[in-house]
C-alpha cells in the first residue's frame, strides 16, 4: 500500500534503494509537473559475482551448503523482488542460483498468463531462447498480441520519442530493444507455431477494443492468451487506449482474469487511469446535481475493486501516475471548456468513487501547489472545489 504521510516519499524510496544494486534503478523526473514522482526505469542487472560476498564473521550463507535442487526450490518460493535481491547478495553462489532460477520464480509468483510479458518488461536482456523455452515448458502462455507487438516494435528507431502521457519506469518499446536476438527469434518461432500467419495479419488489441461481444473476448483470451498489454506502439495518446466496454461492461470474471497487467505495467496503469477519468468526465457532463446526490455511495459509478487492482509499489508509483494523468487529461481540453458545475461534479466523482491505495483528494490538491501547474483555469476549478467542500 502506498503511503500518504509526510514521510511517504522517503518510505517509497527505500525499497527502490534496496533494489538499485539489483536492477540498477535510475530515478527520473516527471516532465509535465516537474516532480520526482515519475517512476524510475529498471535496466535490470543481477548482482555480479564480484559484487556478491560471503556472509561476514566467518558465517556461511545458507544456500552455499544446500544441494542445488533444494536451493532452487527455496528460491522459487521467495515472495518478493526485494527479498530475491537480498538473497542474491548473500554469496556468489546465491547470485548464480538466483539468476538461474528466475524463470521458475516467475512461474511461481506471477500468473502463467502474464509471466512471459512480465519477464520482457523486467529482465529483457535475460530473455534469451533458453529462458523463453523454460517458461513455455513450465506452462507459460504466449499471448498472440504480445508476439504481434514484438514483431512490430523490435526494429523501431532507438531515437523515437514517446508520448508524454505514457509515464512509466519501464517502457515496453524501450525494453524491447534490450531483448537478445535469439530471444526475439524464439518468441516469433513459438508465436508462428501456435498461431501461424495470424501473428502478422491480426491486430488483436484494436479488434477487441472495437468489439462489444462477450463471447469474442472470451475466445481471444482462451485461444490466443490475450492480455490488455503491451499498448500498441503506434497508439496515439490523443485516444483512450481502453474501450468503455472493456473497462465497465466486460464480464467481471473475464476482466479480473487478465487485469494482473495493471499491477506491474505502468503504461497499462496509465491508460487505465485515463480511461476511468474519461468515463467520469462523461458522467459529469451529462449529470445533474440530483444525480450526484443519488450516487454518493462509493462504487455506484465504477467498481473500484475491479478497476483498481493494487499496483506493485516496487514497479510503479501509482499516485504519481494518477497526478500526471489527471493533469494531462484536464490540459487536453481548451481553457474554460467545461463549466464550473461540470468540473464540480467531475471532481466530486473522483473524490467519492476512486479508492486506490493513496488519498485521491490529497493527490488532486497537490496539483495546485505544484509550480508546473500552468493552466489557471485548472487551478481555479480545483481551488474552488476544495473551498466549497472544505
Distance CA 378, CA 390 (A): 18
How many angstroms from the chain centroid is the CA of residue 46?
Answer: 22
Contacts of 164 (CB under 8 A, 6+ apart): 31, 32, 237, 328
**Beta carbons within 8 Å of 330's beta carbon, 6+ residues apart:** 375, 378
> Computed from CA positions of residues 135, 140, 144, 150, in that sequence, does the dihedral angle turn out positive or negative?
negative
pLDDT at 294: 53
Q: At what angle do helices 92-109 and 129-137 cross, to 10 degrees?
A: 50
**Predicted local confidence at residue 46, as pLDDT:** 47
pLDDT computed for residue 30 by the predictor = 35
Which residues, including other chains, have CB under 8 Å from residue 33's CB and lie 6 or more apart? 323, 324, 327, 367, 370, 372, 373
DSSP code per residue over 212-247:
--HHHHHHHHHHH---S-SPPTT--TTS-SS-HHHH
Residue with cell 477519468: 277
Task: Report the C-alpha gap between 279 and 146 in whole angstroms.
Answer: 27
User: What DSSP state is assigned to residue 177?
Assistant: T
Tens place of pLDDT per residue across the chain (390 aa): 334 444 444 444 444 344 334 333 333 333 333 333 333 333 334 444 444 444 444 455 677 888 888 888 888 888 776 788 788 888 888 888 888 888 778 888 888 899 999 989 888 888 999 889 989 998 999 999 999 999 988 864 443 443 333 334 568 888 888 899 999 999 999 999 999 999 988 899 999 999 999 999 999 999 999 999 999 876 644 457 899 899 988 998 899 889 999 998 999 999 999 999 998 999 888 866 555 555 556 666 676 666 778 888 878 899 999 999 999 999 999 988 988 989 999 998 898 888 888 999 999 988 887 755 678 888 888 998 888 876
pLDDT on residue 133 = 93
Grid cell at residue 371: 509550480
Amino acid at each position: 500500500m502506498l503511503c500518504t504521510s509526510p514521510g511517504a516519499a522517503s518510505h517509497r524510496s527505500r525499497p527502490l534503494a534496496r533494489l538499485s544494486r539489483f536492477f540498477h534503478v535510475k530515478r527520473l523526473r516527471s516532465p509535465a509537473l516537474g516532480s520526482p514522482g515519475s517512476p524510475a526505469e529498471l535496466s535490470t542487472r543481477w548482482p555480479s559475482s564480484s559484487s556478491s560476498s560471503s556472509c561476514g564473521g566467518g558465517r556461511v550463507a545458507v544456500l552455499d551448503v544446500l544441494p542445488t535442487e533444494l536451493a532452487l526450490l527455496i528460491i522459487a518460493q521467495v515472495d518478493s523482488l526485494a527479498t530475491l535481491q537480498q538473497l542474491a547478495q548473500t554469496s556468489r553462489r546465491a547470485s548464480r542460483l538466483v539468476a538461474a532460477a528466475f524463470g521458475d520464480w516467475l512461474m511461481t509468483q506471477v500468473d502463467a498468463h502474464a509471466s512471459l510479458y512480465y519477464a520482457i518488461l523486467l529482465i529483457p536482456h535475460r530473455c534469451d531462447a533458453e529462458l523463453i523455452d523454460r517458461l513455455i515448458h513450465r506452462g507459460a502462455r504466449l499471448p498472440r498480441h504480445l508476439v504481434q507487438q514484438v514483431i512490430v516494435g523490435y526494429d523501431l528507431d532507438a531515437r523515437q520519442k514517446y508520448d508524454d502521457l505514457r509515464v512509466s519506469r519501464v517502457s515496453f518499446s524501450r525494453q524491447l530493444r534490450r531483448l537478445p536476438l535469439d530471444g526475439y527469434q524464439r518468441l516469433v518461432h513459438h508465436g508462428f507455431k501456435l498461431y501461424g500467419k495470424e501473428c502478422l495479419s491480426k491486430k488483436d488489441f484494436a479488434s477487441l477494443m472495437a468489439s462489444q461481444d462477450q463471447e469474442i473476448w472470451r475466445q481471444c483470451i482462451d485461444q490466443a492468451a490475450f492480455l490488455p498489454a503491451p499498448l500498441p506502439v503506434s497508439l496515439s495518446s490523443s485516444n483512450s487506449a481502453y474501450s468503455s466496454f472493456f473497462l465497465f461492461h466486460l464480464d467481471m470474471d473475464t476482466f479480473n482474469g487478465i487485469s494482473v497487467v495493471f499491477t506491474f505495467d505502468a503504461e497499462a496503469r496509465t491508460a487505465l487511469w485515463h480511461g476511468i477519468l474519461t468515463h467520469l468526465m462523461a458522467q459529469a457532463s451529462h449529470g445533474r446535481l440530483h444525480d450526484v446526490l443519488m450516487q454518493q455511495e462509493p462504487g455506484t459509478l465504477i467498481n473500484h475493486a475491479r478497476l483498481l487492482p493494487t499496483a506493485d509499489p516496487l514497479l510503479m508509483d501509482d499516485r504519481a501516475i494518477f497526478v500526471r494523468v489527471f493533469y494531462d487529461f484536464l490540459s487536453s481540453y481548451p481553457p474554460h471548456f467545461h463549466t464550473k458545475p461540470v468540473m464540480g461534479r467531475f471532481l466530486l466523482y473522483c473524490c467519492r468513487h476512486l479508492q486506490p491505495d493513496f488519498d485521491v483528494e490529497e493527490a488532486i490538491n497537490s496539483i495546485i501547489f505544484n509550480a508546473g501547474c500552468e493552466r489557471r483555469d485548472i487551478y481555479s476549478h480545483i481551488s474552488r472545489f476544495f473551498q466549497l467542500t472544505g
